[in-house]
Amino acid sequence: MKYLSTPNTYRSSAVAILLPREKPVFDVAVDSGNLETSEDAAKREDTGALMLPANPDLYTTLIRSRSVLQEVAAMYQDQLVLGVPGRTRSEELIGKLRSMIVVESTEQGMMTVTVTSSSPDLSAELANALVGVGEAASKDIEKQLVLQQAIYIDESLVLAKNKLKHLTDHLKEFTGSKSIIDPRNQANDFLRQRRELTLKLNDLERELAARRLSWTDADPEVQRLILEVHLCKDQISALQDAVAGNVGSAEYAPFMVDYEELSSKVRLQSDLVVSLSAKSDVLHIRAEQPAGSIAVVRPATASHRPVGPSRKVFLMMSLGLGMISGLGLALLQEQWAQAKQEPYVAERLAQLPKLNTPGVILRRFSTSQGLQS
């Protein structure tokens, strides 16, 4: 009878896998011409250093929360109505929906959402809807985390750009005060000119020495050579005062130290700006299309066979109860037959009709009322 009177219920399950979550990347180490984050270091050394383990309790609590159940109940309020339509209270609706849901999870990150209802399609739709809520929540969580990283990177990018502008302006002012365009090329031009003038001076001095062997200093050719020698020496002396722009040979070494240090800072800051800009673009793209940390392995499908104990179990239980009841009844009849053979019991049984006649019962009742009065 219980088997026949029990209403049919249908159960559907959806299985999802919780993927490891990514740590926010906030630490940055910068070298000259190279920006390295902890993400790069993890890829090089240990690919799991940036991943947090899955947290099934987060989504289990979320799926059974009141806000999620209210949202799902609003989607299927016609199928979940209790009693008179329009008179069902929210607490009753949420309570019924919560009693229909079973969420199981493992430490490894597998989550199973099982829904039991009176409709096979409703069970499958509810299970898929609840898993979909968890999947959407995981994407929202990832989006918020990525946006937090993007905001941090954007703020760092603004500071880096301001510092780069300050360093660039300082470098322009420093090189402009010395009339420097390209100190290395200017120094190479200086060395080339000095080498050419030194070779020319040596040739003039040799020619002058050979001319003086035959002529005196009053000779016009000798005087021309002496004049060219003096002009060549003056040019070499002038070059010493302007190795690169307005920087002389004595000041060139300290100038190059300061110039290289300032240029290295500008180069480093420029690399940092480029790397932060690229990182910011990547994070904003990821925020627009978050992947989420829940992967649905098996969506719920409608099962058109009711759940419950097996028919064989019910039949065996009924058979067992019938056998026990039959044995009890047989024992009771046997004991009753033995008891009636006793003289006292037989006498009392013979008196039972007389003791229970209507007149005897009425007399007993009137007597008890008189005693009470």
49 pLDDT tier (thresholds 50, 70, 90): very low
Looking at the structure, do residues 212 and 139 belong to the same domain, yes or no?
A: no
Higher pLDDT, 347 or 329: 329
Is the model's pLDDT at 32 over the cut of 70? no
The Cα-based distances of 4 to 1, 8, 116, 118, 295 in angstroms read 5, 10, 19, 15, 40
* 71 pLDDT more than 70: yes
Kindly state whether residues 150 and 229 are assigned to the same domain. Answer: no
In a domain, 205, yes or no: yes
Please write the tens of the pLDDT for every residue from 74-124. 888 777 765 445 556 777 788 888 888 898 888 888 889 999 888 888 888
Number of domains in the chain: 2
Kindly state whether residues 51 and 190 are assigned to the same domain. Answer: no
pLDDT of residue 158: 92
Residues 183, 152 share a domain: no
Residue 35's beta-bridge partner residues?
A: 30
Task: Mark whether 147 and 192 lie in a shared domain.
Answer: no
**φ, ψ dihedrals at 65, nearest 5°:** -75, 160
Residue 183 and residue 161 share a domain: no
Domain check: are 44 and 191 in the same one? no
Mean predicted lDDT score pLDDT of the chain: 75
- For residues 190 and 43, state if they share a domain: no
Q: Which two tokens stand for residue 169?
A: 């302006």
Q: Are residues 117 and 207 in the same domain?
A: no
Residue 247 lies in a domain: yes
Q: Can you state the angle between helices 311-340 and 343-355, rounded to 10 degrees?
A: 100
Instruction: Write out pLDDT tens, residues 122-174.
Output: 888 899 999 988 888 888 888 888 888 889 899 999 999 999 999 888 888 87
Average pLDDT over residues 210-224: 80
Q: Could you tell me if 49 and 155 lie in one domain?
A: yes
Query: 83 lies in which domain range?
Result: 8-166+291-298
Quick one: pLDDT band at residue 182, thresholds 50, 70, 90?
low
Assigned domain for 228 exists:
yes
> pTM (2 decimals)?
0.54
Query: Which of 257, 283, 298 finishes a domain?
Result: 298
- Residues 145 and 208 placed together within one structural domain of the fold: no
* Residues 160 and 13 reside in one and the same domain: yes
Taking CA atoms, 70 is separated from 63, 87, 89, 94, 297, in Å, by 11, 16, 12, 7, 26
CATH label of the domain that carries residue 56:
3.30.1890
Determine contact, residues 301/181, Cβ cutoff 8 Å: no
